[in-house]
């Protein structure tokens, strides 16, 4: 668009990916089309970041398998990648921290002592508190999620308000509609989300697709085909490794989800 600087964007999707499905990959394509259609952005990279085992979600299989399946699923993509940093952390990592980690990774190296007094430089930068994180010359980073994750911002003891403010205030969010959710209504009902509504891009998926990893795991337990819901290479990997059994679905069954443990002070019995 004339007179507009096009902002480079990297999309980061955080989630269980237990297992990765075709819909997870579609989310990236939908988000890229939507952002680039505005004429304001060019999406240069997508990152899938599977959550670590310490998240303790029911039925969550080992991160090494979830990572490998995500890698297989993106083999044919020239822009969607997989990153293992989050899944390798011993403790569960808040999503705001994961976003910050990737944002920092994407920025060009800071100037060296030879060029500038780095302490003064860092202080000055902190004092400036950029509301829009593009000041360091690297691409912009936005969190990509489905509407269920946006709506989970309202679940008590699941998210810190400061983390939500950082994600939507400093970075930005791209949210894909999911049936049964109404992201516009949810944003309207939250003072914080309303304040930062310009940083929240809601993408309407007209070809509604209710693929969910939960349904895929259920079909696998019942010996039903999951072909065409997942990339073929992922289906093969699941078969070879014998993943997703009645036993694996009981993993963490008696354990409280890590964020709820952390913020409500609850402990595993």
Ligand X SMILES: NC(=O)c1ccc[n+]([C@@H]2O[C@H](COP(=O)(O)O)[C@@H](O)[C@H]2O)c1
- Nearest-approach distance from CB 154 to ligand X, in angstroms: 12
Hey, is 19 helix, strand or coil? coil
- Nearest-approach distance from CB 80 to ligand X, in angstroms: 17
* CA distances (Å), origin 57, targets 16, 51, 80, 103, 218: 8, 10, 25, 26, 16
Largest CA distance in the chain: 64
The interface mask with ligand ATP, positions 1-30, x = CB under 6 A, is: ------------x-xxxx--x-xx--x---
Nearer to ligand X, 41 or 86 (CB): 86
Q: Which residues bind ligand X (CB under 6 A)?
A: 14-16, 51, 55, 57, 94-96, 149, 158-159, 163, 259
Binding ligand ATP (rule: CB under 6 A), the pick from 131, 214, 250, 264 is 214
| d(C-alpha 140, C-alpha 10), whole Å | 6
Q: Which stretch binds ligand ATP (CB under 6 A): 74-82, 87-95, 140-148, 252-260?
A: 140-148
| d(C-alpha 23, C-alpha 228), whole Å | 11
Q: Minimal CA–CA distance to 213: which of 182, 241, 244, 239?
A: 244
- Nearest-approach distance from CB 180 to ligand ATP, in angstroms: 10
Closest residue to bound ligand X by CB: 16
Closest residue to bound ligand ATP by CB: 146
């Amino acid at each position: 668009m004339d007179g507009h600087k096009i902002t480079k964007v990297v999309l980061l999707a955080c989630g269980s990916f237990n297992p990765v499905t075709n819909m997870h990959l579609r989310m990236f394509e939908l988000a890229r089309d939507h952002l680039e259609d505005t004429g304001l952005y060019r999406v240069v990279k997508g990152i899938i970041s599977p959550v670590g085992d310490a998240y303790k979600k029911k039925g969550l299989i080992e991160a090494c398998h979830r990572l490998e399946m995500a890698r297989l699923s993106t083999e044919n993509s020239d822009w969607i990648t997989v990153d293992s940093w989050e899944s390798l952390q011993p403790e569960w990592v808040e999503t705001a921290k994961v976003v910050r980690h990737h944002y920092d990774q994407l920025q060009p190296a800071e100037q060296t002592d030879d060029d500038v007094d780095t302490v003064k430089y860092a202080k000055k930068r902190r004092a400036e508190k950029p509301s829009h994180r593009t000041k360091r010359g690297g691409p912009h980073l936005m969190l990509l999620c489905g509407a269920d994750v946006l709506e989970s911002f309202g679940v008590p003891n699941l998210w810190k308000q400061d983390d939500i403010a950082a994600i939507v205030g400093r970075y930005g969010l791209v949210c894909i509609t999911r049936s049964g959710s109404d992201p516009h209504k949810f944003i309207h009902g939250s003072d914080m989300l309303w304040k930062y509504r310009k940083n929240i891009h809601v993408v309407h998926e007209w070809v509604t697709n209710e693929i969910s990893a939960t349904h895929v795991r259920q079909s696998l337990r019942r010996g039903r085909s999951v072909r065409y819901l997942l990339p073929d290479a992922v289906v093969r990997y699941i078969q070879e490794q014998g993943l997703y059994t009645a036993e694996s679905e009981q993993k963490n069954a008696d354990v409280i989800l890590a964020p709820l443990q952390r913020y409500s002070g609850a402990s595993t019995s």
